[in-house]
Structure 1
Amino acid sequence: MTSSNSLTNQREHLFRRLALLTVIFIYLLILAGGIVRSTGSGMGCPDWPRCFGRWVPPTEVSQLPSNYQEIYGAKLKGEVEFNAVKTWIEYVNRLLGAFAGLSVFALLVVSIPYLQKDQRFFYGSLISFILIGLNGWLGSRVVATELAPYLVTLHMLLAILVVFALLYVMAISYTGRVAVETIVTNKASVNRILFWAMIFSVVQVLIGTQVRESIDEVIQRIGYSERYRWIDSLDFRFYVHRSFSLIILVFHLAVIYQLRKNTTTKGLLSQLTTALLALVLIEILTGVVMAYFAVPAAAQPIHLTLAIVILGIQFTAMLMLNADQLLKNRAVQQPHYSKL
């Protein structure tokens, strides 16, 4: 192997690892965002990008000016009460956002040499960088508007798009290097079922944000101490959300059935769809836990993060199902299969 080929392989290995690390950072950021929402820590830092005017937030109220409520309460109608736990939860969320942004930027830099080989690496990384920058700005608007529900929902949708963009470039980098089953017949049917499973999952996430907003409305009426009454106080959106999960489960069962029926070997697609089914069942279980056990705070971020993980695996499975299309512009002389 020539030194040139060795350098290329090292660069591709670095790109793949960095893309995977970046996706992990994004999912940790989504989990942190769920924790912020479930603990009511969204205004733990009433200003942005600093927190109570500091780059490192305080740990006790004595570190703040005596009139801090007057200083930071102007835009919050005077409702500022320092809570160290909530402040640091929000601060850690912001730190993860910064690390995720730096990771996406590093991926963009590493992708520059691919401009002459496969421009999809660079432009996919560039789109990821633009989207995460836009989402960072949107996060500041969420704080400025005191957690406006429509901005919180848009904030989440942009995070999903960042995940999709990163998974796309990662899928390109792994295409031809992982074993993917060949669909003997009915590939179009499998594609169609998987596509609608993903669409319904996005709809389910959006309905879930509506349910979360309705919970916020209930909290304003009866408070945090009455958690056991939250579910009974919800409107029709909760029941739509609960029933929709069964539709998504049926679609995933259909995908697994079609794959087993139309493939003769087992590979990445089989692994991904099996993982999807397991995650959908766990997702339903966490929903049951929230519905019948007074919406425990720990279950909420897990429920949200699992939903985004499911979307990511669905998107990856669709890309791998159409790996032959991804290979059109990618020169892979001798496929080398390796573990992710």
Structure 2
Amino acid sequence: MTSSKTHIDSKANRRFRRLALNTVITLYFLIIAGGVVRSTGAGMGCPDWPRCFGRWIPPTEISQLPADYKEIYGAKLKGEIEFNPIKTWIEYVNRLLGAFTGIMIFLTLLASVPILKSGNTKIFLLSLSAFILVGFQGWLGAKVVSYELLPIVVTLHMLLAIVIVFLLLYLFTWAYYANNPLKLNLIHDKNANKLGLIILVLSLAQILLGTQVRETMDEVIVKMGYDARNQWMDSLGFEFYIHRSFSLIIFGVNIYWISLIIKSEGKGSVAGKIATACLWILVAEIGTGILMAYFGVPPFAQPIHLTLAILLIGLQFIIWLLTNGKKYLVYKDNLKVKHTTI
């Protein structure tokens, strides 16, 4: 929508901006926790939902469970449930972080109400969408458990997390420039602008390919066990080789895109600084991929690899917003703000 108001209450804007940023940070912690769950095989550490072994506070030792707990909770897991307190609490902490993220997004929604009153409907609706989606994400997390880590459900779970990250990053970026539109660093290189959306699509495709590799690895782990960690990669299928080869394309296209942005805007600009950060994250991302491929899939590398991928696509999304700032953030005409477009 178009609003004739160029300013919202500065105090309300700062509160909204802080909450949006803190919610993004919380969401990334949740993604890290999810990566730890996957890398440790703790996805079924709690065989029921929303409780864990029928308790709101999970057990810490097997004596706290009934003697026939395998029959009670193992039916849907084909009798393969073994209580492991470490895996149980890893999964439970992941659930707690998910609930806390929902609270943070709800607070962000409440903070958008004063912005709605100022005439900006879109920001409120996007905040509401993020809140609804995080609720759906919680429901989808329950289905991950009830469907026993069904690959398509796990992939949808990851895809929805990225959508929520995009929504919150948009809200934060908008709030950052809402009352200071002249600080907006628009990217003027047309080739960089056109390439931005392609970069986002390629990064998303690579993340989804990564989830396919992880799902194949889950099958390998079931067959070979955790003691054969050094042999996992040798047993992966074509998904892994596509993912590995595609990373070279991702790297090359990103290097070209980053060079265009830095050349156009300079390293000291907002876009230049974010592009430089993308470069270092990309290098670290490839580094963790090499660690997993050639050094026996060390457990710490998997959650770091996943988090770096989501962090990278998030920063790429911010650059894309700067690329399209006139359309999605503010209009500028001869360095004078006419009106906001959100």
Normalised TM-score (structure 1): 0.91
- Give the letter for the 2:60 counterpart: T
Residue 291 of structure 1, aligned match among 293, 314, 329: 293
Task: Note closer, same or farther for the CA distance 1:264–1:85 as it changes in structure 2 (3 Å cut).
Answer: closer
Task: Note closer, same or farther for the CA distance 1:45–1:265 as it changes in structure 2 (3 Å cut).
Answer: closer
- Give the letter for the 1:281 counterpart: V
Task: Note closer, same or farther for the CA distance 1:7–1:287 as it changes in structure 2 (3 Å cut).
Answer: closer
- Give the letter for the 1:99 counterpart: F
Which residue is equivalent to 1:55?
56
Give runs of ≥4 in structure 1 deviating > 4 Å. Answer: none
Map 1:237-248 → 2, pairs under 5 A: 237-248=239-250
Partners of 2:12 and 2:103 in 1: how far apart? 19
Partners of 2:196 and 2:162 in 1: how far apart? 17
Which residue is equivalent to 2:325?
323
Indicate yes or no: 2:185 matched with 1:181: yes
- Give the letter for the 2:297 counterpart: V
State the SS of the aligned residue for 1:175. helix
Partners of 2:307 and 2:255 in 1: how far apart? 21
- Give the letter for the 1:198 counterpart: L
Task: Note closer, same or farther for the CA distance 1:254–1:79 as it changes in structure 2 (3 Å cut).
Answer: same
Partners of 1:21 and 1:32 in 2: how far apart? 17
Partners of 2:336 and 2:16 in 1: how far apart? 19
Contact 1:219 1:230 in 2 (8 A): yes
Contact 1:46 1:72 in 2 (8 A): yes
- Give the letter for the 1:109 counterpart: L
Task: Note closer, same or farther for the CA distance 1:65–1:264 as it changes in structure 2 (3 Å cut).
Answer: closer
Which residue is equivalent to 2:66?
65
Which residue is equivalent to 2:3?
none
Residue 157 of structure 1 deviates from its aligned partner by 0.4
Contact 1:46 1:143 in 2 (8 A): yes
Which residue is equivalent to 1:114?
115
Residue 264 of structure 1 deviates from its aligned partner by 6.1
Map 1:195-234 → 2, pairs under 5 A: 195-234=197-236
- Give the letter for the 1:181 counterpart: N
Partners of 1:122 and 1:83 in 2: how far apart? 43
Task: Note closer, same or farther for the CA distance 1:56–1:216 as it changes in structure 2 (3 Å cut).
Answer: same
Contact 1:120 1:169 in 2 (8 A): no
The percent identity for this pair of structures is: 53
Contact 1:20 1:170 in 2 (8 A): yes
Contact 1:175 1:326 in 2 (8 A): no
Which residue is equivalent to 1:278?
280
* CA deviation profile, 1:285-318 (whole Å, cap 9, x unmatched): 0000011110011100110111011111111111
Contact 2:267 2:276 in 1 (8 A): no
Which residue is equivalent to 1:3?
none
Task: Note closer, same or farther for the CA distance 1:180–1:271 as it changes in structure 2 (3 Å cut).
Answer: farther
Residue 326 of structure 1 deviates from its aligned partner by 3.0
Task: Note closer, same or farther for the CA distance 1:257–1:295 as it changes in structure 2 (3 Å cut).
Answer: same
Indicate yes or no: 2:123 matched with 1:124: no
Partners of 2:18 and 2:134 in 1: how far apart? 19
Which residue is equivalent to 1:17?
18
State the SS of the aligned residue for 1:45. coil
CA RMSD of aligned residues (A): 2.1
Contact 2:98 2:138 in 1 (8 A): yes
Which residue is equivalent to 1:338?
none
Map 1:48-197 → 2, pairs under 5 A: 48-116=49-117, 117-175=119-177, 177=180, 179-184=183-188, 186-187=189-190, 189-197=191-199
Partners of 2:320 and 2:193 in 1: how far apart? 7
